[in-house]
């Protein structure tokens, strides 16, 4: 159920505690209403808690940058629940990208694509590209479906702070700067997602993570370029 947590130090955000195997159907209208207004929610991904807003909503994107004290030249990654949502965000996918999607997704592998022109420059940091991941845990994919749109998912922390694994950590960091924390339990943590730019050939490995360079190269039958 929903509740406002009390704190002697700060006003806390709304926290929706829900069993990880419970249906989100009863909460869909509330979640979508927040997102339509440019609201920001926090939720567990297949790595850590992330901050979610509609990637096409400029107000929500602006708030995430403000909340995280994030530099404007750092784009936001986006989570999807289905291949059809990838088509809403990306265009001109390479054969290598399609092969990686088929082989690995859902998984902690973030792929960079050419962005559709409708995506705000603030989300892409004027790179004309967008990083997309289909998370490996089913619960997060169900949440994205309930939200009715892909969700941004930068880690729910401020610059240079540790990524959070629990709803309480998120609440203590942000207070009521965010609109809703959805708490089905802790995020698994572990290694961050691997980040791979598929807009070039061969693809460029931007960040090492849960999916190894060797695994990627084995699927593609080519060596990836490493970002310098």
Cis amide prior to 169 (ω within 30 degrees)? no
pLDDT confidence bin for 143, thresholds 50/70/90: very high
pLDDT band for 9, please (50, 70, 90 cuts): low
Max Cα-Cα span within the chain: 57
Identify the pLDDT of residue 13: 83
In the prediction, which pLDDT does 4 show?
Answer: 41
Q: Which stretch of DSSP H or E encloses residue 207?
A: strand 204-207
> Whole-prediction pTM value?
0.92
Give yes or no for a contact between 156 and 49, defined as CB atoms under 8 angstroms apart: yes
Q: Is domain 2-226 given the CATH code 3.40.50.360 in the classification?
A: no
Dihedral (C-alpha) 85, 107, 132, 157: value to the nearest 10 degrees? 120
CA distances from 188 to 12, 92, 163, 170, 192 (A): 24, 33, 11, 15, 11
Which pLDDT score, from 0 to 100, does residue 11 have?
72
Please say whether the beta carbons of 82 and 140 come within 8 A. Answer: no
**Average of pLDDT values for 165-176?**
95
Is there a contact between 2 and 15 (Cβ–Cβ < 8 Å)?
yes
């Amino acid at each position: 159920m929903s509740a406002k947590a009390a704190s002697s130090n700060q006003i806390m955000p709304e926290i929706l505690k829900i069993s990880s195997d419970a249906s989100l159907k009863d909460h869909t209208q509330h979640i979508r209403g927040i997102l339509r207004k440019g609201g920001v929610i926090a939720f567990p991904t297949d790595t850590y808690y992330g901050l979610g807003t509609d990637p096409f909503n400029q107000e929500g994107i602006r708030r995430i940058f403000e909340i995280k004290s994030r530099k404007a030249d750092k784009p936001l990654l986006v989570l999807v629940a289905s291949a059809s949502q990838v088509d809403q965000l990306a265009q001109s996918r390479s054969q290598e990208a399609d092969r990686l999607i088929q082989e690995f997704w859902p998984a902690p592998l973030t792929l960079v694509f050419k962005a559709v022109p409708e995506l705000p420059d603030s989300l892409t940091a004027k790179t004309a590209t967008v990083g997309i991941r289909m998370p490996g845990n089913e619960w997060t994919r169900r949440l994205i479906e309930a939200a009715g749109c892909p969700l941004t998912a930068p880690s729910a922390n401020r610059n240079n702070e540790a990524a959070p694994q629990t709803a309480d950590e998120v609440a203590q960091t942000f207070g009521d700067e965010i609109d809703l924390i959805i708490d089905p339990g802790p995020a698994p943590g572990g290694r961050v997602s691997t980040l791979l730019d598929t807009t070039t050939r061969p693809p460029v490995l931007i960040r090492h993570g849960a999916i190894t360079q060797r695994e990627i190269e084995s699927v593609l039958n080519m060596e990836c370029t490493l970002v310098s």
